[in-house]
Amino acid sequence: MSSLTVWAFPTADGAENALALLERMQKQQLISIADAAYVTWPEDRKKPKTKDLGSLTGAGALGGGFWGFLFGLIFLVPLLGMAVGAAIGALTGSLSHVGIDEDFIATVRARVTPGTSALFVMADGAVLDRVAEPFKETGATLVTTNLSDEEEARLRTAFGESPLPERL
């Protein structure tokens, strides 16, 4: 089972500053990062800036297409307004089939606003309790959703650049 975690930081540079912490936890084998990205939203900007990080050790399992799609739903849709409401409703509904529902999207949208940042991590088998504590010390808040093996396989089929690894 995988999880999609979003660490929302109260400052625009918080997510970028936390990358070293994330890399350290991966080296300690507390988390196995399949893919990651971060968003920084300076106070004076209309929209956030995004960066695809891959797995932090190579190419990400899902690639930029997934992050672009997810970030578009979270951050771009409110800017477009009701004109695209029905189409977006269908798209967010399709994401619920891969474990990412409208509540998750709405929660992230509410927490990542001008002057803040967020670190998005797709992880395999993270020990969430051991990962959560160091992030709390940074002032970050956690939004998470778990993906079943079937949901993860659907995501990889739709966006992935690598096959689903075999589970022992």
Q: Identify whether 2 is part of a domain.
A: no
Q: Identify whether 8 is part of a domain.
A: no
Query: pLDDT for 70-88, tens place per residue?
Result: 787 777 655 444 444 544 4
Q: Identify whether 166 is part of a domain.
A: no
* Rounded (10°) angle between helices 149-159 and 64-71: 100
Phi-psi region of 138 (alpha: psi -120 to 50; beta: other; left: phi over 0): alpha
Residue bearing tokens 């001008």: 114
Q: Identify whether 60 is part of a domain.
A: yes
Q: What percent of the chain stands above pLDDT 70?
A: 70
Range of the domain at 129: 25-159
Q: Identify whether 20 is part of a domain.
A: no
What are the structure tokens assigned to 132, written together? Answer: 């959560």
pLDDT score of 167: 41
pLDDT score of 166: 45
Q: Identify whether 91 is part of a domain.
A: yes
Q: Identify whether 150 is part of a domain.
A: yes
pLDDT at 168 over 50: no
Contacts with 144 (C-beta within 8 Å, 6 or more apart), sequence order:
3, 4, 5, 6, 128
Question: Residues 122-138: what's their mean pLDDT?
Answer: 79
pLDDT score of 8: 96
- pLDDT, mean over the chain: 76
Burial annotation 107-118 (CB, 10 A radius, 16+ → b, else e) = bbeebbeeebbb
pLDDT score of 59: 54
Q: pLDDT tier at 144 (50, 70, 90 boundaries)? A: confident
Report how far residue 10's alpha carbon sits from residue 141's, in angstroms, rounded to the nearest whole number: 9
| pTM of the model as a whole | 0.79
Q: How many independent structural domains does the chain possess?
A: 1
